[in-house]
Amino acid sequence: MSKIYIFAIAIFALAFVACTENNTNVNAEKMALEKMAKTPGFTWIYLEMDKYEPKAEILPEIQRKFNSAEHTFIVFAKPSCSCPGKHLQTPAFLKTLETAGIPLDKCELYSLSSINNNHPYESTIKLKDLPTIIVMKAGKPVYSVSDTINTITNANPNSGITVEDALLLGLTE
């Protein structure tokens, strides 16, 4: 009988430990695009940037709306993101900036393993999904490119909204 009792306690203890939340704080890592492209899980980023063709008719409007003194961008991305289609938002966004002539140094890139990772914008940006692409104006978040794409695509999968469509909307905020 005592073996059954000990076994039951061991199972209970194991279940308790397995269900205990891991409170280890993990920080987002800020990286330049060159470093990101060499990081395991992001080695595909240049390949996808090369494949992406932004809508040329929108680029002049993006250039007009972009204010170098006011606008910056924050990108939170997950290595090896396997979310269908979503992982392509990051390289599409970066290619759009590049093609529109917006310097990539206006964009802060962060690698995260989870939306729960600590990041420098926690007080103003709550991550709901990865990737998350934010338009900042005068140092404050004003628009989420990724949330717009995800919301519209979820409501209408055939909407055809592109990263550059959402970016243009964000630059008008």
**Rounded to two decimals, what is the model's pTM?**
0.82
Q: State pLDDT tens for residues 9-21.
A: 555 554 444 433 4
Q: State pLDDT tens for residues 136-168.
A: 999 999 999 999 999 999 999 999 999 999 999
Residue 146 lies in a domain: yes
- pLDDT of amino acid 21: 41
Residue 8 lies in a domain: no
* Residue 135: domain span: 25-171
In whole angstroms, give the CA distance from residue 68 to residue 93. 17
Number of domains in the chain: 1
Residue 1 lies in a domain: no
Residue 78 lies in a domain: yes
Residue 81 lies in a domain: yes
Residue 20 lies in a domain: no
- CATH number at 52 reads 3.40.30
In whole angstroms, give the CA distance from residue 99 to residue 15. 53
Residue 138 lies in a domain: yes
Q: State pLDDT tens for residues 87-139.
A: 789 999 999 999 999 999 999 999 999 999 999 999 999 999 999 999 999 99
Band (82; pLDDT cuts 50, 70, 90): low
CB 161 within 8 A of CB 153: yes
Burial of 89 (0-12, 13-18, 19+ CB in 10 A): buried
Residue 159 lies in a domain: yes
